[in-house]
Structure 1
Amino acid sequence: MQDIFGSVRRSLALRSNPAKIDDDATPIRWRKGALIGCGAFGQVYMWMNMNSRQLLAVKQVLLGTNIASKEKAHAHISELEEEVKHLTKLSHPNIVRYFGTVREEETLNILLEFVHGESISSLLDKSKIFPEAIIKKYIKQLLQGLEYLHSNGIIHGDIKCANIFYDIQGCIKLADFGAFKQVAILATMTEAKSMKRTPCWMAPEVILQAGHSFSADIWSLGCTLIEMATGKPSWSQQFEEVAGLFHIGTTKSHPPIPDFLSSEATSFLLKCLQKEPNLRPTASDLLKDPFFTEDEQSFRTVDHLAESSDKDAHSALDLNELQAPMYDECINKFIAFFAPVDGNLKLLPPSFNELS
């Protein structure tokens, strides 16, 4: 796991003027930390709210440097700010929270919950595949998050392991939902890197641009289950990207289902991967599926993998053991940097034990 504070002394800067999250928010003092990720539309930084010592992940979207670009993007910026304002009202254990926006001269900062953990994609890189019991545990939590989003009228639109996080408390969290469309438009207007969504998780109706609803997320969930089981995106071994787009949009078949999965898992996937969107069950329906209800004993915790002979899988999935020393080392670097500035150790991020 990357040490996100490796360049903390060079990259952290105290903001002398309090920032406002939005027009109705209370001004906050914050510090911008190191770069922690790069996405299709910009960069993601760590911030610390100096009022609450809360760590935030902040997605920075470029607004353009010339007047024409700024004027053209203004309407979409306002729409994005309003959409994020609406999303701040959402709160569920299985989604990444939105906290608001901060507009600067050349960037719009989207303030998000900082997940103390890793993406499922990163975990999958280490363990190669997940055992079915772990998949079941993760998919159930994903469905709980999806059920909440759908009940609030929100289509996720980009479900895949790279957009799913696992925190130090063992909780799965869905990220990158809601404001995706407006961010994509802004990125295109300001000549940022354009979105290049892979077709491997996309429902046929999305590829065909035939209009889609919540059921498109159910298809993507099925593809994500296949990704967890095989370590590879669905269709990726059969087709290159362009050929994949054509095939998924025109074929009457579903992605290949691994033959080593249980009959319950296979049946679950066949329901998710119905070609006809109206035939796919809802997230609420799937939570009652025999895949979950017939074998409650299979919901083993990550710690239970210690009893397994597969030590590699255990070490890759036991995040508490992996992250505690790394996280506490990061906090020590925060102390070394901030204490001489503020003289107030209460403004430091929480310790690992406080979080877990």
Structure 2
Amino acid sequence: MNKSCLDLSEFHTDQYIDIKERLVALEKHLSDPFSDCYVERLLDVVVACVTECTKTVKNVKNENMLAFLQRFLNVAVCLQSYRRKPEDFSFISSLGHGAFGRVQLVREITTGRVCAMKVLKKSRMLAQHTDYWAEKEIMSHGESPWIVQLYYAYQDLKNLYMVMEYVPGGNLVSWMDEVEFMSEAACRFYAAETILALIDLHAMGFIHRDLKPDNLLLDAGGHLKLADFGTAIRVDPETSLIHCDAAVGTPDYLSPEVLLSQGIGGGSYGFEVDWWALGVVIYEMLYGVTPFYSETLVNTYANIMNHANSLKFPENVNVSDACLDFMKKLLCDRTQRLGSQAHCLSEVYNHPWFSIDWIQSQQTDGHLDSMDVSIADWTWSNIRASRAPFQPHLRSETDTSYFQPETDDEDDELMVDGENVVDKDSSNHGRNNGHDSELVDVTNNNNNGKCKDVARGGDFPESSNSDHKYSGRCSDSLLELPGSQLVFAGFSFSSSHPHHLALLNGLHSSPLRGSNLTASASSSDLLKNGDNINNNSNKLGSVQLDKSMNHQLQENKCDNCKNSFLKSNGDVSSINNLLINNENENVMDSNISNHTKCESQLAGLRIQLDDALTLSDTHLNEISSLTVQLEQANARCHELENKLSLQEINFKKIHEEMERQLENVHAEAAKNRSYLEAEIIKWK
């Protein structure tokens, strides 16, 4: 009997440990921003499911969906009201806009940090099949200093929001336009930083597919950061290739294999397309024009396909042989292209253009002035700590002078902080080479990625939150289609950085309102003075009134959010009536089951209490054991201190004895020296 009880006890102990381990693992998944079970992603799913149900019950009365809405509509509304929203950021200025939305400079109200916020309209995302998932994954997972970092991603019913680091130096295009022709030393510097950015991106398993100066941003120190991953796609992990049947990217920077992928059947390519684009970028930095540019897009494509004959290097610009060789090895057939294979990266690092010998030869030939020498003296390991060729002069952390203003269309009118504002600022992330109006063909490409419209000027989103008015050309009717909100479920993200506000990282934890209110007094004080009873009862009453008022305000807030939530999905009254009728039908069943629920909850609480007491006893035993160990350690410490003191005394005695012996030796030596000197004099 005792043995069976012991076995049963061991079984329950093992089961408790197993449950505890599973709960710990679950908590880790919920708090891990990169987990599929991340709490922000699960909240997205809840809100999306409730939203889709509200759209469905407008047309078809479904008892099961009504019951679901009855339970979770208020939950979803309150969850959404507690989550991150556009009002958590204050608008500063507009940075740019494009086909899918707008980028704005904002300040996070809670932390005061200046950020860039990219706002994408969901309706346009659905219409264009653009891949925002890859962009979010690259900026959130990447810890590379060469890639723009994502702080938060969140959404409402109409928009996606990505809050990322602000890179105030503008893009490489504006600097290239300012200097007209970039020195070879400066070009070499930014080519090296672009190489490091591509290596980090490719190590994550992504191809950029739209590498160009427009997407190379400069930070406050003039160093490069790779941006705009709207066309990026993950390669097959086994083959390091992707299959696509459309040319994706900007025309002047497309490689031959990308052009060949157009049409029925498509084609496959890999990281080599980014290395081709790097060759085009280097050429453009040196000569001010892309190598295969023509007045018509057809001729540009023809030049790219016939690159062996059409690639020419103007002789009016002095460029070293090493640089020419590097460009030729990038703008060549994919099988021979430099850097296209992982084992070939050493050829890039060790190319003569990036060697010390190049600096010495250029100095000998007099092609490097003092400024060029200062920006040429770097290594692959310290380049980010070296002085950059371009040094932005910023007046403040909100300086946007390196983002050139342009005139917005009338349908880019925004509502910011409750006022209509027509933004006149946007960054110029592209130059006119005759292809600005030309869009590359676009199709959806399986599950590995996508092919999207990419204008020569790049893509910059347009801002509005769920309450903002927007009169764009793209209709929001796509959001009314079944499952449209489910497409975006799981988009939300919060950086795991300890200084970023995120669920389950502890920074958001704070006492609830009114938690610091105390309306109680000690019993002795109450007995001493009867007046305190009335005073404290008044305080208690005021606290209860405050709590009830706060509860009522919260209910009103949830009701307002609920009405707003329902308005976005159709007729409020019809859905409310359906919910009320369904609620009345379920009242009786609810009352009958309440007693059973309370009993089961009470039993559960008793079990939890027993577990807590058991755990408390375990902790007390551990504390006792640790106390004994601490006492033993203290005793050992005192023993060692005593031994050390004795050794110190002995050492002092030995030291004094050695000093006395040394003095005797010195005296004896002096005596012998005098004797020898006397003998020498005597012999002389």
Structure 1, residues 15-64: CA drift from partner, whole Å, max 9, x if none?
Answer: xxxxx995389955322332111234322111222233222222222222
The separation in 2 between residues aligned to 1:112 and 1:270, in whole angstroms, is 36
Structure (1/2) with the larger strand percentage: 1
**Equivalent runs, 1:109-124 vs 2, <5 Å:** 109-124=161-176
1:273 aligned to 2:325? no
Task: Please tell me whether the aligned partners of residues 175 and 390 of structure 2 are also in contact (alpha carbons under 8 angstroms).
Answer: no
Task: Give the superposition deviation at 1:285.
Answer: 3.1
Structure 1 equivalent of residue 231 of structure 2: 180
The counterpart of 1:304, out of the listed 356, 371, 384, is 371
The counterpart of 1:241, out of the listed 271, 294, 297, is 297
Return 5+ residue gaps in structure 1 as ranges: 1-19, 183-194, 309-316, 331-356
The counterpart of 1:51, out of the listed 106, 110, 120, is 110
Letter in 2 for 1:36: L
Task: Please tell me whether the aligned partners of residues 120 and 165 of structure 1 are also in contact (alpha carbons under 8 angstroms).
Answer: yes
The counterpart of 2:354, out of the listed 277, 292, 304, is 292
1:264 aligned to 2:315? no
Change over 3 Å in CA distance of 1:327–1:86 after alignment to 2 = closer
Structure 1, residues 49-108: CA drift from partner, whole Å, max 9, x if none?
Answer: 22332222222222228xxx96x78xx68x734761454010212221233422123221
Letter in 1 for 2:114: L
Task: Please tell me whether the aligned partners of residues 22 and 100 of structure 1 are also in contact (alpha carbons under 8 angstroms).
Answer: no
The separation in 1 between residues aligned to 2:109 and 2:117, in whole angstroms, is 15
Task: Please tell me whether the aligned partners of residues 21 and 101 of structure 1 are also in contact (alpha carbons under 8 angstroms).
Answer: no
SS in 2 for 1:281: coil
The counterpart of 1:33, out of the listed 92, 101, 106, is 92
Structure 1 equivalent of residue 183 of structure 2: 131
Structure 2 equivalent of residue 185 of structure 1: none
The separation in 2 between residues aligned to 1:303 and 1:104, in whole angstroms, is 54
RMSD of the TM alignment (CA)?
3.7
Task: Please tell me whether the aligned partners of residues 206 and 216 of structure 1 are also in contact (alpha carbons under 8 angstroms).
Answer: yes
The separation in 2 between residues aligned to 1:265 and 1:201, in whole angstroms, is 19
Alignment length (residue pairs): 279
Change over 3 Å in CA distance of 1:157–1:87 after alignment to 2 = same
Task: Please tell me whether the aligned partners of residues 143 and 287 of structure 1 are also in contact (alpha carbons under 8 angstroms).
Answer: no
The counterpart of 1:224, out of the listed 281, 290, 308, is 281
Change over 3 Å in CA distance of 1:198–1:82 after alignment to 2 = closer
**Equivalent runs, 1:94-109 vs 2, <5 Å:** 94-109=146-161
Structure 2 equivalent of residue 354 of structure 1: none
Task: Please tell me whether the aligned partners of residues 95 and 145 of structure 1 are also in contact (alpha carbons under 8 angstroms).
Answer: yes
Structure 2 equivalent of residue 325 of structure 1: 395
**Equivalent runs, 1:141-152 vs 2, <5 Å:** 141-152=193-204
Structure 1 equivalent of residue 122 of structure 2: 63
Structure (1/2) with the larger helix percentage: 2
Task: Please tell me whether the aligned partners of residues 140 and 149 of structure 2 are also in contact (alpha carbons under 8 angstroms).
Answer: yes
SS in 2 for 1:278: coil
Task: Give the superposition deviation at 1:249.
Answer: 3.0
Task: Please tell me whether the aligned partners of residues 209 and 248 of structure 2 are also in contact (alpha carbons under 8 angstroms).
Answer: no
Task: Give the superposition deviation at 1:206.
Answer: 0.9
Task: Please tell me whether the aligned partners of residues 147 and 284 of structure 1 are also in contact (alpha carbons under 8 angstroms).
Answer: no
Task: Please tell me whether the aligned partners of residues 216 and 224 of structure 2 are also in contact (alpha carbons under 8 angstroms).
Answer: yes
The separation in 1 between residues aligned to 2:99 and 2:350, in whole angstroms, is 36
**Equivalent runs, 1:75-94 vs 2, <5 Å:** 80-81=132-133, 84-85=136-137, 87-94=139-146
Task: Please tell me whether the aligned partners of residues 21 and 100 of structure 1 are also in contact (alpha carbons under 8 angstroms).
Answer: no
Change over 3 Å in CA distance of 1:251–1:172 after alignment to 2 = closer
TM normalised by structure 2 equals 0.37
Letter in 1 for 2:231: F
Task: Give the superposition deviation at 1:225.
Answer: 0.4
Letter in 1 for 2:204: N
Task: Give the superposition deviation at 1:169.
Answer: 1.2
Letter in 1 for 2:371: H
Task: Give the superposition deviation at 1:109.
Answer: 1.8
Task: Give the superposition deviation at 1:251.
Answer: 4.9
The separation in 2 between residues aligned to 1:86 and 1:239, in whole angstroms, is 35
Moved more, 252-261 or 153-162: 252-261
Change over 3 Å in CA distance of 1:328–1:113 after alignment to 2 = closer
The separation in 2 between residues aligned to 1:201 and 1:165, in whole angstroms, is 17
Task: Give the superposition deviation at 1:129.
Answer: 1.1
Task: Please tell me whether the aligned partners of residues 56 and 111 of structure 1 are also in contact (alpha carbons under 8 angstroms).
Answer: yes
The separation in 1 between residues aligned to 2:146 and 2:374, in whole angstroms, is 27
Structure with larger Rg: 2
Change over 3 Å in CA distance of 1:170–1:291 after alignment to 2 = same
Change over 3 Å in CA distance of 1:263–1:86 after alignment to 2 = closer
User: Percent of aligned positions with the same letter in both sequences?
Assistant: 23
Task: Give the superposition deviation at 1:303.
Answer: 9.5
Structure 2 equivalent of residue 23 of structure 1: 41
